[in-house]
Structure 1
Amino acid sequence: MEIQLPEVPLLRIFSLLDGLSLLRVCQVNKYWNKVANSDHLWRNLCLKRWSFPYQCLGMVTWKQFFLTQTKRERRMACARPEDFVYKEATGNLGILGPMAYLSGGGFPMSGQEKSLICTVSSKRMLFVWDVQEGTMIWSSPVQQSSIKYLVTLPQMYLAFTVDVQNTIKVWNCQHVDALATLTMPRACFSFEAILTSDGPFLMVGNSEGDIFTLTVPELRNVSKVNAFNYSVDLLRCSPDKKWIFAGGIHQHIVPRVLVTECLLRPSADRAPLSVSLPFPFCCGACWAPRRANRITLMFRRASFKKTGFATFDLTTEWTQDGTIIQANQIASFLLPINMESPICMGVGDGNVIVFESGPHLFLFTINGFLLQQFQDHQLTICNLWVDYLRVLTTSMDNYLHLYTWEEEGRYPHLKSCCHLEHRRDDHAPSCYYSKAICDNTSIVCVVSRNRESSVLVMYSLNM
C-alpha cells in the first residue's frame, strides 16, 4: 500500500527545491503534481530570484511567470552577434551622459515587451528611446541647467533627474512638464529611487553628509539624517529594501548602513538605527542580489596605491535595551600592488567579486582567491556593468562584451557569450569612454567620438 506524506510537510520539503527540481517532482504522480504546482511555492521562487516588488500579474500564475522569465534570460545568455537587430541613433543629440531603463518593472507576458531607455543629454534634455524600433519617443523641454544625475523607477515608469543647480524633477516621460520639482539647499552627490511596501521614495545624499528621504511623486520631505560630515557620494539600497548603505570617497569617512524603515518613519526622540563599517576611502559598494543582508565594499589604502575588498553580513538583534545592528566582517583581501587599481566592481551570489583592471576582467572569491581572468578586449576596459544575470564590459577598442553568470560548482563563474561592435563599419578607436547597460531583450551603448555629440547604439534580440 502506497503511503503519502500529508500536504503540509510535503510543501515544506518542496520549498527547498529549485525550479528545475520542482518541475521534475511534478511528473512523479498526480498528488505530487498538485502540491508542486502550488502558487505559494512558485511565488517564493520568483521573489527569491527577482527580489523586488511586483505589480499585479493579472491572470498569469507565478509558475507561468517563472517559466516565461527564465526562458527570456536563457535566450539572452545563448545569444550570438547575429541574433541581435542593430539600430543606431545619431544627430543633434549632444553628449549623452547617464542612462537607465524606464521599462522592466512590470514584466509583461505577451512576448511583445518593449525596452525603453532614458538618456541625459548635454543639450540639457532628457530623452526616451524605443530600443526595438531605434526611435526617440519622448523628449523633455530644454532645461535651465545641465542634468547631472538620472535614476528611474521602472515599476512606475518614472524618471528622476538632478541638475547642477540641485533641482530635482520627477518625470513620467509622457507629459511635457515634470510631475514635481524641488530645489535642494545643498549640492546633491548621490541619488537612489526605491519601491517599498510603504510606497515609492527618493533618497538624496548631499555635500554636508545629509540623507534626505522624499515621497514620490510629490517630493515631500519625510526625513533628514546626517550620516557624516562630508559628502554622501554613494547610496545603495539592499535588494529587499531593508538597508541603506551610505559612503563617501574621503579619508575621514567611515561608511554606514542604516535601517530603511527608520528613514521612512523617523522618530523625533531617537536617532535612526545604523552601524559603521570600518573601511574609509570607500570607492564602491554592492549588495549581494540574493543575500539581501550581505554587502561588499571596495576601498583604497596607502595613498590609493592599494585596492582592497571587504564583505559584511548585517544582522539585527533585539535586546532589553532596544534593537542593535551588527556588521559581521566575513572576508577581506588586498589586491597585489602591481595590479592596476579597478574603477568599477560588481558581485555575483555574494561569494564572488568581479572587477576590471586594464584590459582584463577578473573574478575573485570574497576571500581573495582568483577564479577567472578574461582578456576579451585589446584596450583598457572603461566601463563595467553588472547585475544578477549578466556582466557587460566596454573599452576604447570599439567593442563591448557580454558575459553571463553560471552557477554550477562551488562558486558561480562567468561564461563569455558574445563580442559586439560599438558601431558597425567604424573601426577607429574611441577617444572617449563608452558605456553600456542591458535587460533581457536588449543592450544599449553610448559611444562618443568627439566633444560635441554621441551615438546611441541599440541591440535588440531578434524575436
Structure 2
Amino acid sequence: MRAQPQDFAYREATGGLGMGMGNTVHLLEEMHWFWGSDPSMSGQKPVICTVSSRHMLYAWDVQEGVMIWSSPAQQCHIKCLATLPQRSLAVTMDAWNTIKVWNCRDANPLATLTMSTCCVSLEVFLTDGGAFLLIGDFYGDIYTLTLPELKSISHVNALECPLDYLHSSPNRKWIFACGTHLGVLPKVFLAECLLRPAVGRAPLFVSLPFAFCSQARWALMCVNRLTIMFHRDILRTGFTTFDLTAEHTGGSTAIEARQIASFMLSPGMFVPAWMGVRDGTTIVFECGPRLFLFTIEGLLLTEFCDHENIICYLWTDSVHVLTTSRDNYLHLYMWDKEDWHPSLQSCCHLELRKGDIRPNCYDPIAICDNTSIVCVVSKCGGATVLVMYSLNM
C-alpha cells in the first residue's frame, strides 16, 4: 500500500509479441494468471497466460519478463481463454469452436474437443469433486465437461438467446448465466444440478427480474451475494444486489433470489462499462475519467480523479483495484476497512510505456497479484507490448 513507482522493477516482455507489419498489427488479446498468483501457493513464481492474434497461446514468467512457453500456431483465431491456476491448466476456444486444454509445457494439448455448436463463453472452476468447464453457446445452452479430459457431464438449455456470460460463485455453489438480449432475463443455476444431473429432472434455477444485464459480480467475501449492473435505457444505469439461498425440504429444493438493495445512477453520469465488488456492501465502477465507490444502497462513499482521460479498464480482486486509461497510465488502489464499509486507498500511478507519448490504439488491460502488475499496451503504429512491474522486496 505504501509502494511508490520507484519501488517497482519495470520490464517489457521479450520474445515475439508481434510487430505491426503493413496494415497488420499482432495483438495480445486476453490475459489470465496461470499459476503463482495465490499467496497460499508458496514457492511458485507468478506466470500468466496470453493469447494473440497470431493464433498462439503464451506463458510468461512475470518476475523475469520472459516468455517460457508458446503453443504452435493454431489454424484459426483463439477467441476465448480461461485458466485454472490450482491445476496449472489453460483452456482455449477458437473460431471453429474447438476446445483445447493445455498445461503450458508441452507442444500438444492435453485434450481437444470440437463442438457442434457456436460457442460464445467459457467458465472453469474447481470443486471437491474435481475440475470442470462450462461452455455457453449461441442458442443459450450450457455444456458441462470435466477437466482436463473434456468428458461430457450435462447439456441444458438455459436461455432463449446467446449465452454471453457464465460466472460461478466463489463457493462454486451457483452459476450465473446471462445474455445481452433485452427481452431475456438472466438466471442463476444451482451448480450441483449441472455437475451431477438427475435423470428426468430439470436443473434448478431462479430468474432475476432485470433484463439487459451488462456486468455481474459475485461478492468475494459474501459468497452467496450477486450484484448486477443493468441498463434501463441507453442513458440510465442501475445496480441491484441479490442474496441466493437453497432450502432443502424433504425431497425437494427451493431456490430464492432475495433482492436486498438497488439504485439508479443520476442521468448526468457517464454510463459505466466496468464494475467490481468485494465484501458485498459496496460497488466500485468508473464513469469517464473518475472512479466511484458506492454502497449497494446508492450512497456515494468516495470519488477518485487520478486519470486525465476516460478510464477504459477496471480490474478487481479481494485486495486490489486497477484502472487503466489511454492517458498511458495505470493506477493502483487497495481495499481497506473503515467503519461499516470497506474503503479504497489510492496507492500509486504507474506509467505504462515510459517516455512513449504515442496514443494507445486499444484499451490497455491489466491484472495484478501481491507483488506484480502486468499490463497489455497497444501503441498506434507499433507493437503490442506486455509490460510487467515487480515490487522490489
TM-score band (shorter)?
over 0.9
- The structure whose residues are more often strand, as a share, is 2
- Output the CA distance in 2 between the equivalents of 1:107 and 1:141: 32
SS at match of 1:155: helix
Query: What's 1:95 paired with?
Result: 27
Contact 1:95 1:452 in 2 (8 A): no
Report deviation, 1:338: 1.2
Contact 1:399 1:422 in 2 (8 A): yes
In our comparison, the structure showing a higher alpha carbon Rg is 1
Identify the match of residue 242 of structure 1 among 157, 173, 195. 173
- Output the CA distance in 1 between the equivalents of 2:39 and 2:132: 18
Report deviation, 1:452: 6.8
Matched to 1:200, the amino acid is: A
Contact 1:223 1:266 in 2 (8 A): yes
Query: What's 1:22 paired with?
Result: none
Identify the match of residue 47 of structure 2 among 98, 101, 116. 116
- Output the CA distance in 2 between the equivalents of 1:351 and 1:409: 12
Contact 2:39 2:370 in 1 (8 A): no
Matched to 2:61, the amino acid is: D
Report deviation, 1:407: 1.0
Contact 1:105 1:156 in 2 (8 A): no
Report deviation, 1:273: 1.0
Matched to 1:83, the amino acid is: D
Identify the match of residue 380 of structure 1 among 290, 300, 310. 310
Query: Which whole-Å deviations, capped at 9, do the CAs of 1:87-144 have from their partners, x for residues lacking one?
Result: 102554320000001013583434xx31101111101101111011110000000000
Report deviation, 1:321: 6.6
Query: What's 2:118 paired with?
Result: 187
Q: Give the RMSD, CA atoms, in angstroms.
A: 1.3
Contact 1:249 1:281 in 2 (8 A): yes
- Between 101-110 and 124-133, report the one with greater CA deviation: 101-110
Report deviation, 1:319: 3.1
Query: What's 1:48 paired with?
Result: none
1:145 matched to 2:76? The reply is yes
Query: What's 1:331 paired with?
Result: 261
Report deviation, 1:284: 0.6
Query: What's 1:107 paired with?
Result: 40
- Output the CA distance in 2 between the equivalents of 1:150 and 1:320: 41
SS at match of 1:290: coil
Matched to 2:9, the amino acid is: V
- Between 450-459 and 273-282, report the one with greater CA deviation: 450-459
- Output the CA distance in 2 between the equivalents of 1:357 and 1:195: 34
SS at match of 2:338: coil
- Between 422-431 and 375-384, report the one with greater CA deviation: 422-431
Report deviation, 1:320: 4.7
Contact 1:128 1:136 in 2 (8 A): yes
SS at match of 1:412: strand
- Output the CA distance in 2 between the equivalents of 1:449 and 1:318: 55
- TM-score, normalised with respect to structure 1: 0.81
Matched to 1:158, the amino acid is: L
- Output the CA distance in 1 between the equivalents of 2:331 and 2:183: 37
Query: What's 1:392 paired with?
Result: 322
Contact 1:237 1:243 in 2 (8 A): yes
1:312-461 to structure 2, matched below 5 A, reads 312-320=242-250, 322-450=252-380, 453-461=383-391
SS at match of 2:32: strand
Identify the match of residue 217 of structure 2 among 281, 286, 294. 286
Report deviation, 1:453: 3.1
Contact 2:17 2:385 in 1 (8 A): no
Contact 2:122 2:135 in 1 (8 A): yes
Contact 1:125 1:141 in 2 (8 A): yes
1:295 matched to 2:219? The reply is no
1:165-314 to structure 2, matched below 5 A, reads 165-302=96-233, 304-314=234-244
Query: Which whole-Å deviations, capped at 9, do the CAs of 1:172-231 have from their partners, x for residues lacking one?
Result: 000000111111122211111100011000001110000111000110110011111101
Contact 1:170 1:181 in 2 (8 A): yes
Matched to 1:270, the amino acid is: R
- Output the CA distance in 1 between the equivalents of 2:382 and 2:8: 28
CA shift in 2, pair 1:321/1:200, >3 Å: closer
- Output the CA distance in 1 between the equivalents of 2:111 and 2:375: 29
Query: What's 2:21 paired with?
Result: none
Query: Which whole-Å deviations, capped at 9, do the CAs of 1:297-316 have from their partners, x for residues lacking one?
Result: 000112x2211001000111
CA shift in 2, pair 1:188/1:106, >3 Å: farther
- Output the CA distance in 2 between the equivalents of 1:451 and 1:337: 38
- Output the CA distance in 1 between the equivalents of 2:343 and 2:365: 23
Query: What's 2:7 paired with?
Result: 83
Matched to 1:337, the amino acid is: P
- The structure whose residues are more often helix, as a share, is 1
- Output the CA distance in 2 between the equivalents of 1:388 and 1:354: 12
SS at match of 2:160: coil
